[in-house]
Structure 1
């Protein structure tokens, strides 16, 4: 800092500008069939999701979403990214999901749909990011420790 600034013009000349080239740009990623692919994860469940323009039909493991996810809460959870992006009924969703239970699988499908939507329409990224749909929920089951009955529960204590 041997030099001292004499005016604001000199300070403005030193200012580095961030150009549009430095900012990340997201492009549309579709395969030869016009589908966007993404992988969603939640707990132990992993979902592979393909979306394409259509009538809004959702298929999970070759079954209708109403038969695979019987609970309305799980179906609502899957629809959340499409509703948030105002694209409900505009895309057909085909997904295969494995591992975990139904709740984890629904979360994995939701995460996969969100990522596939951003691959198909990159301008939806800000809406989905703001809703928290693109963030992978990192909470998993805590491991069992030795000397304990479960992860934290101790064995029953006997005084005598």
Structure 2
């Protein structure tokens, strides 16, 4: 296991959100931007996304996490936090890498918003066509 005073840092990214995760041995308390996870993410789907790396590796309740997240919306932030937790868990024990990798938790999801093109209203939406 991990010593009491050591912690592991993982940086996760998703869309425009960036999360810095500090994992330390503890009893499973997760604090995001100074608030508990239940208060910060009220929807169960986001909480499941965040806790997925710990569920997959059977480390629920073994680590406390202090998380700072910047940018993006709720979905991007939850994905960034999950990515950061997965990276930090990998640093705690190298044996967890195979499990995390096989579940796709170490791969950065590079899908971002497509840029607006000139002559179009949005990325792909064209102005309405008029025949005459």
The within-5 A match list for 1:8-157 is 33-157=5-129
Q: How far apart, CA to CA, are the structure 2 residues paired with 1:134 and 1:48? A: 15
Higher-Rg structure is: 1
Which runs of structure 1 show a deviation greater than 2 angstroms over 4 or more consecutive aligned residues?
none
Q: What CA deviation, in whole Å up to 9, does each residue of 1:110-132 have, x standing for no partner?
A: 00000000011111000100110
Q: Distance in 1 between matches of 2:50 and 2:9?
A: 16
Q: Where is the strand percentage greater, Structure 1 or Structure 2?
A: 2
* Structure 1: gaps (5+ residues): 1-29
Report deviation, 1:35. 0.3
Number of aligned residues: 130
Q: TM-score, normalised on structure 2?
A: 0.95
In structure 2, the residue matched to 1:23 is none
Return the alpha-carbon distance in structure 2 between the equivalents of residues 59 and 157 of structure 1.
51
Q: Greater relative contact order (Cα 8 A, min sep 6): structure 1 or 2?
A: 2
Segments of 5+ residues of structure 2 without an aligned counterpart are none
TM-score normalised by length of structure 1: 0.79
Q: CA deviation at 1:133?
A: 0.3
What's the CA shift for 1:156? 1.2
